[in-house]
Structure 1
Amino acid sequence: MIIRIIGEGQYRAPEALCEELNKIDNRIVVLVSEEKAEEFRKELSKLISEIKEKGEAIGAEEILESDIIVPPEDLSLEEAKAVFTGSGIFED
């Protein structure tokens, strides 16, 4: 799966990592719906860190369509309400 982090590039993520990211994504959906801003920011930061640490960075010269687009870490809670709804950005 190809994941783009807005403003930071693309990463190739193996299936096992995607399962882990989906769990974090599901927690973010709950935190956003409960309007828990601080906890939401921590989980979004964790989501992005996991992608960067465990995914394989894709060079800028390689142009691939992204399967998932992850918002930047500075996403506000209000903006997150439009992104992290239903099943979130990762499909169950």
Structure 2
Amino acid sequence: MIIRILGEGQYDVADDRVDDLNALDTRLLAAVESDDDTAFAPTLRDLLGAVRRLGTPVAEATLVTSGLVLPAADADLAEVRALLGDDGLIPG
């Protein structure tokens, strides 16, 4: 799955690693829904870090469609809330 981190680039993450990301996404969704700024920033950092760690960067010259778009590392709670679906940022 190709995942774009806004302002940073795309990463190719194996489909079997998406469950690892879903656990972090669930934590992020809980922080956003409860307006918990204390938990929000570190959880967003953890989620984006996991994408970087589990994925392989896609070359900038390569044009591929992103399956998921994640907020930039400096996004605030309101920006992430606007991106959230019913299941969080990562469906599943």
For structure 2, the 5+ residue unaligned runs are none
How far apart are residue 41 of structure 1 and its match?
Answer: 0.8
Q: Distance in 1 between matches of 2:24 and 2:18?
A: 10
Query: Gapped runs of 5+ residues in structure 1?
Result: none
> Could you state the TM-score of these two structures normalised by the residue count of structure 2?
0.92
Identity of aligned residues (%): 28
**Structure 1 length-normalised TM:** 0.92
* Mapped pair 1:65 → 2:68: no
Judge which range, 80-89 or 58-67, deviates more: 80-89
Partner of 2:37: 37
Q: What is the 5 A alignment of 1:3-42?
A: 3-42=3-42
Query: What's the RMSD between the two structures over aligned residues?
Result: 1.1
Runs (4 or more) in structure 1 with deviation over 6 Å come to none
Cα distance in 1 for residues equivalent to 2:33 and 2:59: 35
**Whole-angstrom distance in 1 between the partners of 2:9 and 2:85:** 24
State the AA in 1 paired with 2:10. Answer: Q
Query: How big is each residue's C-alpha offset from its partner over 1:22-66, in whole Å with a ceiling of 9 and x where there is no partner?
Result: 111111111100000121111110011111112011101111000
Q: Distance in 2 between matches of 1:56 and 1:48?
A: 13
Q: CA deviation at 1:16?
A: 2.6
